[in-house]
Amino acid sequence: MPEYFEVGLRSIGIVGAVFFITKLLGKKQLSKLSFFEYITGVTVGSIAGTLSMDLDLPLGEGLMSILIWFSIPFIFSLISLRSTKFRHFVEGIPTVFIENGKIDEKALRREKYTTDELLEQLRKKNIFRAADVEFAALDTNGDLSVLLKKNKQPVVYEDINVSLRKATPPQTIISDGKVDTDALEKISLTEMWLKSELSKRNLSIKDVFLAQSDEEGHITFDLFEWKQITK
C-alpha cells in the first residue's frame, strides 16, 4: 500500500476515534478549557498528529494512548460531580481581584496578572474605572467576572417598579416559504392571522424566506431575493 494512502486512512481513523471520544465527554469540553483540560487537549492533539504521519508507530497502541488521555478528564469529571473538595483541587477556585472597588495586589501576583491586563479585561466589558467595580473575580476557565457597584449599574424596570409581561422567545413561523403550524401554536397564533398580516403587506407565504413572531404579534420578514428585486 502506498505510504500517502496509508497516512490518509490512519488520519481518517484517528479523526473518527477522537470525534467519538469527544462526544462521550460531552459539550463541556467544547467550552473554554480548564487548566487540566487544556493540557489534555494539547497532548492528545500531539499524539494524534504524530500517529497520523509516523507509519512506524503501531496504530493500536497510539489509539490506546489517546483513549487513556481522554479517560482521565472523563473520570475526573465524574468524581468532581460527587466531591467539591476534589473539584476545587483539580479545577481550582475563582480568585477575587477586586472587592468594593479595591484591587487585591496579592491576588494579582498569585495569578501572574499585571494591572494593565486587569484594566484591559475591564475595558473589554466597557468599564474604565476600577473604583466602579463592586466585585471582580478570575474564574477557573480564565474569564473575568465583574459586578458593578449599584449606583453604576444600568437602570432596569425592577428599579422603577414597572411590571412587565413575561418575555417570550420569537418563533420561526415561516421557513423557506413554508408555514410552521407548530410554531404558530406555541405563540397562540393562527395561520389565518398570518395570512392576514401577509395580505396587509401584499405578500404571500411563498414570497417569504423567513418570518418570525412573538406572542404579541410582532412579526418580521425576510423575503426571497427575487421578491426583493421586484418590490
Instruction: Name the residue among 14, 203, 4 with its Cα closest to residue 211.
Output: 203
Cβ of 115: how many Cβ atoms within 10 Å?
Answer: 11
Answer left, alpha or beta for residue 228, where phi above 0 means left and psi between -120 and 50 means alpha. alpha
Between CA 155 and CA 23 the distance in angstroms is 42
Strand partners, 222: 210
b/e burial code for range 68-90 (CB count within 10 A of at least 16 → b):
ebbeebeebbeebeeeeeebeeb
Q: Is the whole model's pTM more than 0.95, yes or no? A: no
Residue-by-residue pLDDT tens, the chain, 231 positions: 565 566 667 677 767 766 676 666 555 555 556 666 667 777 777 777 777 777 777 777 777 777 777 777 778 778 888 888 888 887 778 999 999 999 999 999 999 999 999 999 999 999 999 999 999 999 887 889 999 998 888 877 777 777 766 767 889 999 998 999 999 998 888 999 999 999 998 989 999 999 999 888 889 989 887 665 555
Could you state, in order of their start, the residue ranges of all structural domains in the chain?
A: 3-89, 95-152, 171-230
CATH of domain 95-152: 3.30.240.20
Query: Selecting from 3.30.240.20, 1.10.10.60, 3.40.50.300, 3.90.550.10, what CATH number does the domain 171-230 have?
Result: 3.30.240.20
Helix 84-91 × helix 35-53 angle, to 10°: 60
